[in-house]
Amino acid sequence: MQDNQREELAYFAGLFDGEGTIGINSRYSPKWQGKMRQTDPGYAPYVRIGMNDETSIKSVHEFFKVGHYYPEKSYKGYRAMHRWDCRDQGGVRYVLECLIPFLRLKKPQALLAIKFLDECTRPEGIRIGVPFDDETIKKRWDFFIQMKVLNGVDVSDYSPATTKRMGRPRSVRVSSDSLNSRVTVREVVEVLPPPGGYKL
C-alpha cells in the first residue's frame, strides 16, 4: 500500500469514527417475510456516513468506488446533509477491510460485521429463499443484537419494530473506545431471543 493511500484511509477512518455508522440492518416484518417468502428477517451489514461537508462525503465515494452518494435538500435554512452508504455485501467487506487497521472507536463494530459476513451469510451457490438452519438463525440474531449494543441502543425492551437510543452504557464504552489495534468484539449483553423464538 502506498503512503498516500494509507493517509487517505487514515483520514476516512477518522471520519467514520466520528460521523459514520457500521451496523447490521434487519428487514423484519411479517409482511416482508410473507411477500418475499423469507424464513429469516434479512439481516445484512451496512456502512454509512453523513456530513454537511460535500467534499468529504464525495471523496469517500470516489475513493472506494462502491455504495451510493446522495445529497439531501436543505431544511429551514440549515446546511444540506450529504450522505454515502453501502449495503452491497461485497462492497461492505471491501470498505471495512480497508478501514479496520485505522479505526479506533468503531473497530469492534467493523470486526463484528466482518465476522457476520464470514459466518452468517449464504454460501456461494445457495439461492435466496433456502431456509437457514436453526443454529445460523440464532447466530444471526445474536450478532444483530450485539451490534445494537455496540452502537448504544438499549435492547432491554427491544423489538425489531422499535428501538430507543439511551446513550452508550459503560460496557460498550470500554469495549468500543479502546485504542488497542488488536481489540476484538466480546459479549457485552445477555443475548435475547427473537420474538416468537429462534424459528422464524
Which pLDDT score is estimated for 105? Answer: 95
What letter would DSSP give residue 113? Answer: H
Domain architecture of the chain: domains with CATH:
3-121+130-176 (3.10.28.10)
DSSP helix/strand/coil, 187: coil
Which pLDDT score is estimated for 181? Answer: 34
pLDDT tens digits for the chain (200 residues)?
677 889 999 999 999 999 999 999 886 555 555 554 555 667 899 999 999 999 999 999 999 999 999 988 777 777 888 999 999 999 999 999 999 999 999 999 999 999 999 998 876 656 666 677 888 888 988 999 999 999 998 887 665 444 444 444 444 444 444 333 333 444 444 444 454 454 43
Which pLDDT score is estimated for 75? Answer: 74
Give me the half-sphere count of Cα atoms (radius 13 Å) on the Cβ side of residue 186.
9
Does the predicted TM-score (pTM) go above 0.85?
Answer: no
C-alpha cell of residue 121 = 451469510
Distance CA 126, CA 4 (A): 40
Cell 429462534 -> residue: 198
Report, in this order, helix, strand and coil percent for the chain, each rounded to 5: 40, 15, 40
C-alpha cell of residue 88 = 452491497
